[in-house]
Structure 1
Amino acid sequence: MTFGVPGDFRSEDESRDSFFGTLAAGLRYVRGRPALLVTVITAYVVALTSIPYFVLLPGMVIDVFGRDAFELGAITSASSVGAIAVTVWAAAVVHRPVAWQLFLGTSFLFGLVVIAFGLAPNFPIALVIIVLLGAVEMGYISFVLGLGMAYSHRRYDGRVQALIVSSFSFLGFVSLPIGALADAIGVRGALIAEGAAGAALIVLVVLYSRRIGAAEDARVPADEERIRALAADGTE
């Protein structure tokens, strides 16, 4: 079967360029496509604000609600219920024109649901909210990865995906300041601050996306002519 695999997946520039040259080409390509630029920026905004809510899950369940390890496992499992349901839906709409609005809306809603989780008055209500939180989180992940592929030419798929996925590597770094914030203002306060920061920054991203015409660019295919124009621009 391997003999039947086409041999044209690696382009000429990929075979000649160094690691840094390849990285620079990927960054130049993302910068030249407003839709991709906003997608990558959103990936880092959400990774540094809303997604790290999971760092505070044990504190919320055990310290705030006074529950034990079983309830912590239950609330983690509940988040998976919403995640599975939304993944199927997101996969069905990610290539439709409405996906761009859904992506930005999901990114904004993510922060709001984190706030709601921080405000949950008791464990049963938190259990309901975590289902929605898991759904929003997985919807966001499905859209950011799916649109990253949809808006990029196949020559740059790997580089664009690497830029997006690398945002998740910052979760470990941001966990420390989030823990320190929880010690200072409490677990609830830290969750509310996380969600508020995430939602507010996404509003700024949306305003920026309108200024650079990202929504219009999202309707443009990543064709070969566009690749050549961007490559030529980078050599000037």
Structure 2
Amino acid sequence: MGKNLPAPFRSLAVRNFRLFVTGQVVSAAGTWMMVTAQDWLVLDLTGDSGTALGTVTAFQLAPLLLFTLYGGRLADRYDKRWLLGAANTAAGLLALVLSVLVMSGAVRLWHVYLAALCLGLVNAVEVPARMAFVSELVGPELLPNASSLSAAYFSTARMVGPAAAGLLIAWIGVGPVMLVNALSYPATVVALCLMRPGELVRSARSARSAKVVDGLRYVRGRPDLLVPLVLVGTVGLAGFNFQLTLPLLAKTVFHADASAFGLLSAAFAAGSLGGALLATTRSGRPAALLVTGSAVAFGALETVAGFAPDHATAAVLVGLTGAAGIYFVQAANHYVQLGSAPEYRGRTMALYTLVLQGLTPLGALLVGWLSARYGARSGLYLGGLVSLAAGLAVLVPALVRRRRAAAGAAGAEPAPDPAAPAPSATGRTP
């Protein structure tokens, strides 16, 4: 089958990876339907409170900040396939309980907060295990392609899910949409059960005495990993709060209904899909300048998106921002994952998850407060400008060092070769 696949899809020649993608596409679409339904529910329960929306986002992402390093340790010590099966089962049960509460009319805001917190705990285990599991599915040679395809299906789900959720919320309500999400998780669990363990590309697991601090020490001793992780953390903290900024922009600035909000989110996802597909052409570890350059592009586009005068223009700019954002995230992912030793990969990717998503709750609270005080556009301005400044702070010194090194190499005269003949009086060698 692999011989007939175009190069961007070559990882799908691996049977286990095909099963993984199939289950994840269904589950991820349900997840993004859930995100849209949850955001709309919170806005309805609180009278369009940006602070409440920021709080539920913080509850969902805070466990990543606190526990994802331990999730990475579990991924390095135990079978990632079974960890993912257990995590997806738990997430499905949480979605089922919340959907029942909504459909029965008994839901309260604290129920949403509690469900978000519990889901965040599940994600603290699931996310680093899933990211590290991709390398076991396809091996190191196909890892960049498989990772980018994973981002592509996630972006596809983010494009289809919110658009479908917006239409369904207007038709059947929030509760049934959440129920659809609950019913999507078995697809991932079944796919994991159907895989052939003997075909997984597994490295030796870390010793049971291995600790989280070992992974931290490993990264601290690798400046080539530490700098991009700091950049990813800064961009994630300030710039990746679209779960909060997009619904506020749609509802409070453009006064859109649920279906129009879903379309705005779909535009962001469509751009993300384009960026992910572009990244599938990568066959090795990207250059460090590519990572920082894409961060600069993302920050500039997010800032411009904040000035969008109408819904249509916002959709275009948000789509371009999504493309630059996912390209940056994938470049950083490949740079860090391909540069780390296999025995530390789970903990390294847990740290990557921590800085990308775990710091977002702090940014969500700040952006929620800022949006409530100065309007929804201010969240985009803040995220874009901080991301732009962080990217330039890394990119400019790197370019200066490269230019100086090139100038030094060009100005240095090669040492004379003692075996070469002496020049003649005319300056030419005989």
CA–CA distance in 2 between the matches of 1:29 and 1:15?
15
Cα deviation digits, residues 96-146 of structure 1 (max 9, x gap): 55x422211111211111111101111111111111111112112211221
CA–CA distance in 2 between the matches of 1:15 and 1:88?
37
- Secondary structure in structure 2 of the residue aligned to 1:15: coil
Change (3 A) 1:32 1:120: same
**Equivalent in the alignment of 1:15:** 207
Change (3 A) 1:33 1:211: farther
Q: CA deviation at 1:166?
A: 1.5
- Secondary structure in structure 2 of the residue aligned to 1:67: coil
Matches within 5 A, 1:67-146: 67-93=256-282, 95=284, 97=286, 99-146=287-334
The answer to which of 85-94 and 70-79 deviates more is: 85-94
- Which protein shows a greater Rg? 2
Q: Which amino acid aligns with 1:39?
A: P
> Structure 1 regions of 5+ residues with no counterpart?
217-236
**Equivalent in the alignment of 1:203:** 392
Matches within 5 A, 1:52-67: 52-67=241-256
Structure having greater relative contact order (Cα 8 Å, sep ≥ 6)? 1
Aligned match for 2:238, one of 33, 43, 49 = 49
**Equivalent in the alignment of 1:223:** none
Is contact 1:34-1:212 (8 Å) kept? no
Report % sequence identity.
Answer: 27
Is contact 1:117-1:191 (8 Å) kept? yes
Change (3 A) 1:197 1:61: same
Is contact 1:53-1:114 (8 Å) kept? no
Aligned match for 2:370, one of 166, 169, 181 = 181
The answer to which of 71-80 and 194-203 deviates more is: 194-203
**Equivalent in the alignment of 2:348:** 160
Is contact 1:94-1:146 (8 Å) kept? no
> Structure 2 regions of 5+ residues with no counterpart?
1-195, 406-430
Change (3 A) 1:94 1:182: farther
Change (3 A) 1:123 1:94: farther
Per the normalisation by structure 2, the TM-score is 0.44
Is contact 1:94-1:143 (8 Å) kept? no
- Secondary structure in structure 2 of the residue aligned to 1:119: coil
Change (3 A) 1:209 1:159: farther
Is contact 2:203-2:342 (8 Å) kept? no
Q: Which amino acid aligns with 2:279?
A: A
Change (3 A) 1:133 1:203: same
